[in-house]
Chains A and B, each alone.
Chain A
Amino acid sequence: NAGVTQTPKFQVLKTGQSMTLQCAQDMNHNSMYWYRQDPGMGLRLIYYSASEGTTDKGEVPNGYNVSRLNKREFSLRLESAAPSQTSVYFCASSGDKGLAGEQYFGPGTRLTVT
């Protein structure tokens, strides 16, 4: 089991460019999440998907879009990158069985917008 994988690991964008962060999980989990991590601010939820075909906004959705392509994959798109979106982005997933609130995290994507 690879768990949760994310691509790319690092990315540098210029202001106004677009990109898609990819996430996949092989644990047959229903729920998937995108977070951003900024110094002194912890993790903030951008979007989540409770099941295939559904997505909902989290705490900081502005400037992002998501697609739950299938049960395995959940992508995050920046349509027009801004320096304020410089951050480390984490994808996570969780299942219906086991401990509620146990989320499995990917290794992160470090994004710099210049």
Chain B
Amino acid sequence: GEDVEQSLFLSVREGDSSVINCTYTDSSSTYLYWYKQEPGAGLQLLTYIFSNMDMKQDQRLTVLLNKKDKHLSLRIADTQTGDSAIYFCADTNTGFQKLVFGTGTRLLVSP
């Protein structure tokens, strides 16, 4: 079956940039997503990228997609303590109805 993988943990200092990486196996992906889970809460869509794009920027967030290597990354500029959360990348199957989530990367931002 399809697989989406992420590193489990990332620690940065406030003000630094954070880069969270994800690899996926499904070459037919149309959209790829980043979801954010704050402590004690459900997931919330953070941003997404269409598969025919290489990069998407949204304020402090930059998503990079390398389709050849099936690699997705999320860069958070000027990381704040409020960015501490678990970040999940997710892929859609061809029917669009189901998401396949990665294992999640726990981002810890220290002052």
Residues of A within 8 A of B (CB): 4, 31, 33, 35, 40-45, 48, 50, 58-59, 90, 92, 94, 99-103, 105-108
Contact = CB atoms under 8 A, between A and B. Distances in A.
A92 B33 CA distance: 16
Nearest to A99: B48
Interface in B1-39: 1, 4, 6, 8, 30-31, 33
Interface residues of B, number: 25
Interface string B62-103: 000000000000000000000000001010100011110111
A31 B41 contact: no
Interface of B: 1, 4, 6, 8, 30-31, 33, 40-45, 48, 88, 90, 92, 96-99, 101-104
A48 B104 contact: no
A77 to B, nearest CB: 20
A99 B31 contact: yes
Given A43-B43, A99-B48, A107-B41, A58 B98 contact: yes
Contact of B44 (A44, A105, A108): A105
A100 B101 contact: no
B42 A50 contact: no
